[in-house]
A and B are shown apart, each in its own frame.
Chain A
Amino acid sequence: MIQRFYLPLISFLLLVFQGMAMSLLPSSLVYSELLITPHWVLIILMLMAVFFDTDDTYYSILYAVIFGLLIDMVYTSMLGVYMFTYGIVIYIVHGFKKMLHGNFLVAMLLSIMGLCITEVFLYTIYFFSKVTQMPWESFLLDRLIPTVIANLLFFFLVYPLLKSRMEKWSETIQRN
């Protein structure tokens, strides 16, 4: 029963650490010309969509909407943007997962795709609501590519830790 709460708890802690990392990591790394943005929660959610959810369960999408809204509340002053973006991206990943067999390569490619879509969505919404005035080319070079690479490193870190555990938790929850 308690296994139900592991993943929300992990996601919540990562949401908290995301902001702390920005103030604690050396500023020369975090605040360089490159606008690296942590999407740790999203990585966990995408792993969830691939390894935790079956074709008929939609936990990852539910959590995507909830944690997207939490990120909106805590770290930006505009509500709904992350909620919508994360929700849609996890929905897409969940849809792809039905067609593909879940292994390392599939999870990695889906993560790269998910990160790219997320960043493009965020850029589009923030551009039209005038939060950023960054031109498209510099967004691509300064934000999209560094962010995808940095978050992929995080993916490599958590994949071995969480993959088999998620599958196990998923099984026990379904048996109950």
Chain B
Amino acid sequence: MSSFTRKKRLILVLVSFILLVSLVGFSIRERSELTLPEQFIHDTVGWVQTIFNQPVQFVQGTIDNIQDIKQTYEQNQVLKSRLSQYKSIMQENQMLKNENEELRSNLDLQESLRDYNPIDATVIARSSERWFSQMIVNRGETHGVKSGMAVITGEGMVGKVQTTDKFHSTVRLLSGFNRNNRISAWVWKKEGDPIHGLIQGYDEETDKLLLKEIEYDAKIKEGQAVISSGKGGVFPAGLRIGEITKVEIDQYGLTQTAYVEPAANLYDINHVMIVDRSMPTYNMEEQMEEEKE
């Protein structure tokens, strides 16, 4: 009897181990589409989270409002003094915009890489497993979200859409980026052409993004801004990514690697915008995967 149960136990452990390995093997590759049961579960959990989120958001909003009211007087003084400056800047901005549009229409360039339609979304949950930097937002396929789109806050880029369900989607944060999630980026300089590089991964020890493949002789200084270039095929150009904090030569001495401090706070996120660029998108990563298959 006891040997029978022991055998049964052994078989159970082996079968579950095989199941584990095959499930992990199935899901470890970068998937841009989820299976139907997964989508269903995501949406169900998402709805329940939305229901419970509403009252919490309300309370949080009220507390924020009260704090805002306390500071209103001081803010008002500061803002008044700045208002006159803004007026002149606004006029200048308007003039430049008009001029730009005119020149564009002369050149028959209707859309630029910089144009995009933002889709507003609210963060309803984050991964409870800290080793996965991802969060769930309340906009999905039906609202026009597609996997691969950039996700930004007012401060800068926070990540990209990893997978979509019908009404929710999962966002991979910058802190979870690896070799497979690249962003084509520019180091912005006041004068001269921007320097091209690729954001390839995140350094967990220093909490900085790694900007690689920078030409050996490019001159980069700390404090320069890094923005998306729009050449990767999905993101629009001009999204703020961060600021350079350190530059070093890579291990083979052929290119430079820069450490980039993300502009947005990756931990305190409530509302985000999903960026749908106006130019046709071209997902190179998917293309490459298809070719491989």
Contacts and interface: CB of A to CB of B under 8 A. Distances in A.
Contacts of A83: 20, 23
Interface size class of B (residues with CB under 8 A): 35 or more
Contacts of B16: 84, 87-88
26 contacts: A16-B52, A17-B52, A19-B45, A19-B126, A19-B128, A20-B52, A20-B125, A23-B269, A27-B265, A36-B130, A37-B129, A74-B41, A75-B127, A77-B170, A78-B27, A80-B27, A83-B20, A83-B23, A122-B129, A125-B20, A126-B131, A129-B24, A131-B131, A131-B132, A133-B204, A134-B204
A23 B125 CA distance: 6
Interface string B1-18: 000000000000000110
Interface string A2-31: 000000000011011111111110010011
B19 interface: yes
Nearest to B42: A74
What is the interface of chain A mostly: helix, strand, loop, or mixed? helix
Given A16-B49, A84-B20, A77 B268 contact: no
B28 A129 contact: yes
Interface in B217-263: none
Nearest to A30: B267
Contacts of B162: 77
A20 B267 contact: no
Interface string A130-160: 0111100000000100000000000000000
A123 B204 CA distance: 16
Among B22, B41, B45, B52, max chain A CB count under 10 A is at B45
A12 B41 CA distance: 11
B31 interface: yes
A15 B45 contact: yes
A23 B123 contact: yes
Contacts, number: 112
Contacts of B58: none
A84 B131 contact: no
Contacts of B41: 70, 73-74
A80 to B, nearest CB: 3
B23 A22 contact: no
Interface of B: 16-17, 19-20, 22-24, 26-28, 31, 37-38, 41-42, 45, 48-49, 52-53, 56, 60, 123-132, 134-136, 162-163, 170, 204, 265, 267-270
User: Which of the listed residues A12, A27, A133 has the most CB atoms from chain B within 10 Å of its own CB?
Assistant: A27
A35 B24 contact: no
Contact of A35 (B26, B28, B56, B130): B130
A119 to B, nearest CB: 11
Contacts of A37: 128-130
A22 B45 contact: no
A80 B20 contact: yes
Given A12-B48, A79-B23, 11 more contacts: A16-B45, A16-B49, A20-B124, A24-B60, A35-B130, A73-B37, A75-B134, A77-B163, A84-B17, A88-B16, A126-B131
